[in-house]
């Protein structure tokens, strides 16, 4: 198939080209897919997109008018796609349901350890000849209570790792999973998880029901000094409420790999630019906040799996007109 690959970075080109056994014609385009850039895919049968590409109704309308039949997501989440519009326009949407849940779970643990033990600050201090420990005190993870919201593929690996640290794990998910229970997690109502957890890690998808799950009201219910980690989707947290939570001390540390307004900022080198996002810039001023640029998935294994599944999805759709990884 002739596919226009939006938001292409050098690593996308490298891994997708290596996996392209089916001989699809891939046009690598650097811009993000928006209404303004959609015309770049004119003449292509499908688009291959990532987390910051916009697949709203107006964009899908343009794609459809250009003959697009397939949206191939190079990610698991599909919150950036208007699925109703896609269905009405006869555009099939496929995704990569799982590529390396370990990559994200391990990264969440990395954020937690870094915030707690302040590796980033020690690294810089020691390189400057400052061997003082002032301000670097952390806490033992052993015996602490960890709340895991969303116990799917990533959440379960996170539970396993935290059990390895001898933590007590509380979990919340509308679908309780025996595998998570076997790993040692105890399902509790959200309120209990909020009240008892020293650490909370978010691993649920972004949906209308989870939008701003952490908001002004829920921040008040948290245990004072909680460490909050979000490697899932930015809009699970109301960033303004998080700032107030940090200022009041309710949130003792905040690790974000995702941010609700990350689109157009994350994945770009803006080091020479004035960043027009006062909330993000305020978050970056706190010593107990660590922000990374939607990097949790970024391992060799994940990139290989994403490329292989994405190309496989395109091949399957080209042959059968349907795909096992279709989003409905
Ligand atoms: P998954 O589908 O295996 O698990 C998601 C779980 O969340 C399910 O068990 C589901 O029942 C649960 N859930 C749904 N609504 C909930 C709610 N209201 N409260 C609590 N739990 C709820 O998904 P996964 O592969 O584990 O991925 C989880 C999320 O991680 C994805 O949705 C995606 O947003 C994010 N992600 C981030 C990165 C990254 O690089 N930062 C990479 C991959 C995935």
Q: Over 80: is that where the pLDDT of 22 sits?
A: no
Tell me what the mean pLDDT of segment 194-217 comes to. 97
Residue 134: predicted pLDDT: 97
Tell me what the mean pLDDT of segment 255-278 comes to. 96
Handedness of CA 254, 256, 260, 262 (dihedral sign): positive
- Probe ligand 1: pick from 194, 204, 209, 255, max atoms within 8 Å of CB? 204
Backbone angles phi and psi of 323, in degrees to 5: -155, 140
> What lines the ligand 1 site, CB under 6 Å?
76-77, 98, 101, 104, 149-155, 172-175, 203-206, 209-210, 231-233, 257-258, 294, 296-297
User: How many CB atoms are located within 10 Å of the residue 267 CB?
Assistant: 16
Mean pLDDT of the chain: 97
Q: Is 262 labeled as catalytic in the residue annotation?
A: yes
Q: Which residue bears the tokens 């109704």? A: 57
- Three-class SS state of 254: strand
Q: Is 24 labeled as catalytic in the residue annotation?
A: no
Q: Over 90: is that where the pLDDT of 113 sits?
A: yes
Question: Residue 81 — pLDDT band, cuts 50, 70, 90?
Answer: very high
Euclidean distance between CA atoms 74 and 164, whole angstroms: 31
Residue 21: predicted pLDDT: 86
In the chain, the percentage of residues whose pLDDT exceeds 90 is 98
Please report the domains of the chain, with CATH numbers, ordered by start residue.
2-99+300-320 (3.40.50.720), 101-291 (3.40.50.720)
Tell me if 306 sits within 8 A of 96, measured CB to CB.
yes
Tell me if 77 sits within 8 A of 201, measured CB to CB.
no
Q: Over 90: is that where the pLDDT of 246 sits?
A: yes
Residue 13: predicted pLDDT: 97
DSSP state of 34: S
Q: Which residue bears the tokens 């599944």? A: 309
Residue 110: predicted pLDDT: 98
- For 148-190, the pLDDT digits (tens) are 999 999 999 999 999 999 999 999 999 999 999 999 999 999 9
Q: What is the CA radius of gyration of the chain?
A: 21
Residue 243: predicted pLDDT: 98
């Amino acid at each position: 198939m002739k596919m226009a690959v939006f938001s292409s970075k050098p690593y996308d080109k490298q891994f997708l080209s290596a996996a392209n056994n089916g001989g699809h014609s891939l046009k690598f385009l650097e811009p993000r897919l928006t209404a303004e850039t959609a015309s770049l895919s004119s003449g292509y049968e499908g688009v291959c997109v990532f987390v910051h590409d916009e697949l709203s109704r107006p964009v899908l309308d343009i794609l459809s008018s250009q003959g697009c039949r397939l949206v191939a997501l190079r990610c698991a989440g599909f919150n950036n796609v208007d699925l109703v519009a896609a269905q009405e326009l006869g555009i099939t949407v496929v995704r990569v349901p799982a590529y390396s849940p370990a990559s994200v779970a391990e990264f969440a643990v990395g954020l937690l350890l870094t915030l707690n033990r302040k590796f980033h600050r020690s690294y810089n201090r020691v390189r400057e000849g400052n061997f003082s420990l002032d301000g670097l005190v952390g806490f033992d993870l052993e015996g602490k209570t960890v709340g895991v919201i969303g116990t799917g593929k990533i959440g379960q690996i996170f539970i396993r790792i935290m059990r390895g640290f001898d933590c007590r794990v509380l979990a919340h998910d509308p679908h309780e999973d025996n595998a998570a229970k076997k790993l040692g997690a105890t399902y509790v109502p959200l309120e209990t998880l909020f009240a008892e957890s020293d650490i909370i890690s978010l691993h649920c998808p972004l949906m209308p029901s989870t939008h701003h799950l952490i908001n002004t009201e829920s921040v008040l219910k948290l245990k004072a000094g909680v460490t909050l980690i979000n490697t899932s989707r930015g809009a699970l947290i109301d960033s303004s409420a998080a700032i107030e939570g940090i200022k009041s001390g309710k949130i003792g540390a905040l690790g974000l790999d995702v941010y609700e307004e990350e689109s157009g900022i994350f994945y770009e080198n803006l080091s020479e630019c004035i960043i027009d996002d006062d909330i993000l810039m305020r978050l970056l001023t706190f010593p107990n906040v660590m922000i990374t640029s939607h990097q949790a998935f970024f391992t060799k294994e994940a990139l290989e799996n994403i490329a292989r599944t994405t190309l496989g999805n395109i091949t399957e759709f080209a042959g059968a007109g349907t795909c096992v990884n279709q989003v409905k």
